[in-house]
Structure 1
Amino acid sequence: MAQGSKKAVFYAICVNGIITVLKGFAALATHSAAMMNEAVHSLMDTLNQVFLMIGLLRGGRPADENYAFGHGQKKYLWNLWSAIGLFSIGCGLGLAHAWHAYHQLHVSERPTVVSILGVEIAPIWISAVVLFIALVLEAYVLLVAAKEFRAQMRARGATNPFRFLREADDPTLIAVLLEDSIAVTGVILAATGIGLAQVTGDKIWDIWFSVAIAVMLGLTAIFLGAINMRFLTSIRDVDAEKAFAEICRGRRDIERFHDLRSVIVDETHVVVVAEVELREEVLVRDMRERIQAHEKALLERVPEHRRTEAVRAYAQDRAVVQATLERTERVIDELESELKARCPQVFHLTVEVEGIAQSSVLDEPGELLS
């Protein structure tokens, strides 16, 4: 999952860096408000994806003495900073530039031709070429992110992409997917505004569509901020809890479970905690041989002449305790193995054995043999 996200982010950084330079050149050459806001948009995309990459690299560090379950949540923090900070800044700069362009609407004149390497070119053609290149490159990066998004959907058995977009556990990939989708939309908006301004001769179209691009950046900041906030507030993994409950109900050696809780550290690290009560008749059914084996092993460590009644009683008691602990540990290990097989994101399972539930078979000993 993380590897696919890194690939999507890396492609996005490279492509958006190139597009930022192209749009910035076109905006300066054509004096287009929409093109300038698209340049700001691409710059914010590039910086944002640099933040995402930093979050992926720092969040991928293993557990250490300060971070018991790894550094995974740092990823959400970097994502939150990039979403709220950079996109909010991009929205503010875009609106400010649109306001300035509106007040200069009847004051400044746009160039009719632009000279590049001695060749005079109409500004509309510069905008058209740059926007076409941007559209092709942005569409390619969007395709890379969409393929990884679909792969995660198939892995989780999801069928509704819009619902999965809200509930997916990889906010970095979601951020890249949304940014690339909005980047393609921004190119289309800029082309529409510039085209309408060219056809009608009214530059207000260029300004209005630049406002639309800026507002779109602001809405993106709000949405991505909300997604990352979910994972910074100790959200529960309902699927893991449901799987644990189903496993417990299907096991004959567990009488009941309660106080079931979970915490998502990141998309690959989920901690599940529960208390269980074991079923007496199932627990003790195969323990007699284990107790006798442990008792024999303990007594063999003591010379024959020292095997007093007290020593034999101690060996018997210790054998019972050891066999009980081993049987309990086996139950916990099996629970953990089954849960991780069904939910690979579960990194740690803590099961507290609350006790052994008394069985009604004590009143009818004959049932023990059935």
Structure 2
Amino acid sequence: MSILHRERRTLPIGCALAVLLLALRPGIAGEAEAGADVARVFAAARAGAPLRYVALGGSITQSGEGWIGPWLTEKFPSSRVTTVNSGMSATGSALGVFRIERDVIAHQPDLVAIETCVNDDSLPDDVAIRYLESLVVRLRQLPHPPAIIFLEAAAKQGSRIQRHRQVARHYGLLEVDLQAAIDAELKRTGQDWTAFFSDAVHPNEAGNRFYARTIEQTLAPLLDKKPVDGRSVLPHPISEKPLILDGRMVPLFGITGVPGWRKNASPPFWMDAFFNGTLSASEPGAALEIPFRGTWAGVFYPMDKGYGTFDASIDGGAPLRVAPNTRGGYSLDIVGRDLPAGEHVLRITLPAPDSTPGVNGEVRLGYLLVAGEGTQ
């Protein structure tokens, strides 16, 4: 039998108190200087290390294709630069905390851009901050944490940028204020909003070029900056509630042997890229029970005006009526959040026969959204 001996060192009382206060102080930045993490990645790329760049965001990122991939390739000729466009239309940090594993972490990123400001606009401040912190901390806790930049996209009527700015500055992240850049350019040139945008938020070709130049100009001073060695220490979170650090999307396509439910291919058109097949049912009363372990659960599903509705509940609780037939596309619903840690059951049920138009009909499910498995 072997005995493991742990060495215990005692700090003087004054030093111990100082360390404790430092650890608990919420305002300490994760980096000594915004962009220090980017400078380290750029230095490695200059030396020939691969540079894997992933852009996470909504349709603004999706159409902009990450903006800076060609620039990174040009600036780091000795590096193998890979650009991954993980923009996903109509999504923000609410889905981001679940899809980050599939769409960002799986690519082993060295540099991650997060653009969710516009699509997070409807979230309450505390919820937006919690989701954003969850994204940042999860990336920072990886064995090889990537550099992170916040891209704060512009909107014609402005957006609630302060939440993203608060998180960026709390963790010492580089932020690119595209709203301020656009406003200044329109004032300088006297041009109309439509010179750069096809609607209230989506850049046109000229707008995407402007976004790319603005991001590149922000990053340019870091190209030759001497990096600061060492890994940043995470500050205490702003959020009072636990962060969501293990969210993931679990495909439901593979579930078999459930009466009334069958496998289907992914939805057609452009959104098929975001699904890995679907599980569908159409008979009234068809039920699906999905056991899960964690504190969060929801569903991600395609939408079509020809679909019916379904009820979702956890552990026999009051059901949530979900109507995936109000438009096309896809959506998500969180059925349970901050549940007691442990085992639970998500139940999906199609309503009983109902003469009300739109209640009955086929429904399709894409993913189980789950998190909190490691919560004690």
Task: Compute the TM-score of the two structures, normalised by the length of structure 1.
Answer: 0.26
Q: Normalized per residue, which structure has more helix?
A: 1
Q: Normalized per residue, which structure has more strand?
A: 2
Task: Compute the TM-score of the two structures, normalised by the length of structure 2.
Answer: 0.26
